[in-house]
Amino acid sequence: MPSMRASPGSDGPGGSGLPPEMDAARSMPVDLARVGWPFVLSYSLAFMSACLVLISPLLVTLALKLQSLVGSREAAGSLAIVASAGALAAMVANPFFGRLSDRTSSRLGMRRPWMVVGFFGGSLGVLLVAVAPNVGVVLVGWCMAQVFFNALLAALVAVLPDRVPVAQRGLVAGVLGVCVPVASVGGTFLVQLFSGNMLVMFLMPCAVGGFFILLFAGTLKDRRLTPGDKPAWSLPEFVSTFYLNPRRNPDFAWVFASRFLFILAYAFLTTYEVFYLLDRLGSAEADVPKQVFVGALVQSAVVVVASPIGGRLSDRTGRRKVFVIAASVLYGLALFLIAVATTFSGFLVGMALGGLAYGVYGAVDLALVADVLPDRSTAAKNLGVFNIAGALPFSIAPALAPIVLVLSHGDYGALYAVAGVCAVVGAAAILPVRRTR
């Protein structure tokens, strides 16, 4: 691929600071130059690192930290409270910082300042969790980490519509789709290397991920906004930060609903994976970090293949919906397999099938939402609203899970069956989308 031309945020004489896909009307699309592999690689490593610092505690260390504080009987309930509060914080922070990013007229650019602030603020939150003497401090630290890491994510995701043309979005989103499972493997690998040292288990992902995040932030040809183009704050504008009218934007609303249901299924799996292995499969506590790592490795090996292929096929065929629908149904089937598994090998089969589904979904769904954005001049804010669909499930899942577990007499298989149903219903939500095939 040819390399990227001059920065989309650079201004000519009298320029507005908008990227080339925007003319004076601020909403009329113009073709962006194709991006080259150096940009894609740097962008992907930064995005993967952001996933690494956020996902690693959710997969292993947060549950183990709470278990060390309150014991195994109360750990699940404490995790529900902490994870729910953190997800709510993320749900508010992502669109809020996305709106701030869209309004930032710094000489450093629109996205770069929030990448740096988000990384360092989130890392301080993780440090607070690691040294917390009680559940209350864990709660405060995790909410702080979620707020700042979601500022980082809001800025990073906005780079996709800022810099990548429509014809390449499936491919680039496919590469980004690899990032979450690879981050899961990397995070669990780093954690199990330092098993027994809680402080290092929490901070090592931040140390590794921070290098690539700051490298990308430092080299990004960032979009810029002149102060004269920045709209004045108003109460209606602030409220719109967290909301898009579904009647005016029905396609966006349906894609939002589909993502919410898919991530809800994923949230059930990841949030309760440790307890599933302990209670349903009877794994020893000392073996759980390694088993989580192996499960993530198997899933990620499939995702690494499926995600770029799925994204490229979507670009070549010009279709998004069929890939998202098929991936959601397949993910539901994978969760059903995990629900009935009685051995670790059966669990791994379900994780592999889930990796195939997640890879295709992660590639094409991000390209799909970029295609149906209501207004590209507020891309970060709109993507922040969309990312509520990725944050809210991590609050709702811990609230719903205890109800399912009570009704099923503590059966984590039943919990994952419910998760499978969520994924399948999420596939149906894509059917009414009209603006893209």
pLDDT by residue (tens digit) across 105-160?
778 888 889 999 999 999 999 999 999 999 999 999 999 999 999 999 888 988 88
Provide the angle, in degrees to the nearest 10, between the axes of the packed helices 250-271 and 344-371.
160
| Domain ranges across the chain | 37-222+247-428
Question: Please, which residues have CB within 8 angstroms of residue 29's CB and are 6 or more apart in sequence?
Answer: 21, 22, 376
Nearest to 226 by CA among 383, 12, 29, 4: 12
Mean pLDDT of 33-42: 82
Q: Which residue has the tokens 């939402």?
A: 369
Nearest to 355 by CA among 385, 373, 333: 333
CATH code of domain 37-222+247-428 = 1.20.1250.20
> Amino acid identity of 52?
L
Nearest to 365 by CA among 304, 430, 293, 313: 430
Mean pLDDT of 193-209: 87
Confidence of residue 237 (pLDDT cuts 50, 70, 90): low
pLDDT in tens, 289-335: 788 888 878 887 888 888 888 877 887 887 788 888 899 999 999 99
Q: Go through 179-189 and write b for each residue having 16 or more CB atoms within 10 A of its CB, e for each that does not.
A: bbbbbbbbbbb
CB atoms within 10 A of CB 278: 21
Give dist(CA 369, CA 256) in Å, integer. Answer: 8
Please report the pLDDT score of residue 228 as a whole number: 66
Distances (CA, A) of 344 to 260, 301, 414, 419: 28, 17, 17, 19
Give dist(CA 100, CA 241) in Å, integer. Answer: 9
Mean pLDDT of 410-431: 88
For residues 357 and 227, is the Cβ–Cβ distance under 8 A? Answer: no
Give dist(CA 202, CA 200) in Å, integer. Answer: 5
What values do phi and psi take at 33, rounded to 5?
-70, 150
pLDDT beyond 50 at 11? no
Please report the pLDDT score of residue 24 as a whole number: 31
Summary mean pLDDT of the chain: 80
Give dist(CA 257, CA 425) in Å, integer. Answer: 10
Give dist(CA 350, CA 132) in Å, integer. Answer: 35
Give dist(CA 35, CA 3) in Å, integer. Answer: 6
Confidence of residue 212 (pLDDT cuts 50, 70, 90): very high
Give dist(CA 178, CA 260) in Å, integer. Answer: 19
Is the whole-model pTM more than 0.75?
no
Q: Residue 29's beta-bridge partner residues?
A: 22
Distances (CA, A) of 173 to 180, 210, 211, 347: 12, 22, 22, 28
Distances (CA, A) of 264 to 78, 214, 261, 370, 397: 19, 31, 5, 21, 6
Give dist(CA 59, CA 226) in Å, integer. Answer: 41
pLDDT beyond 90 at 172? no
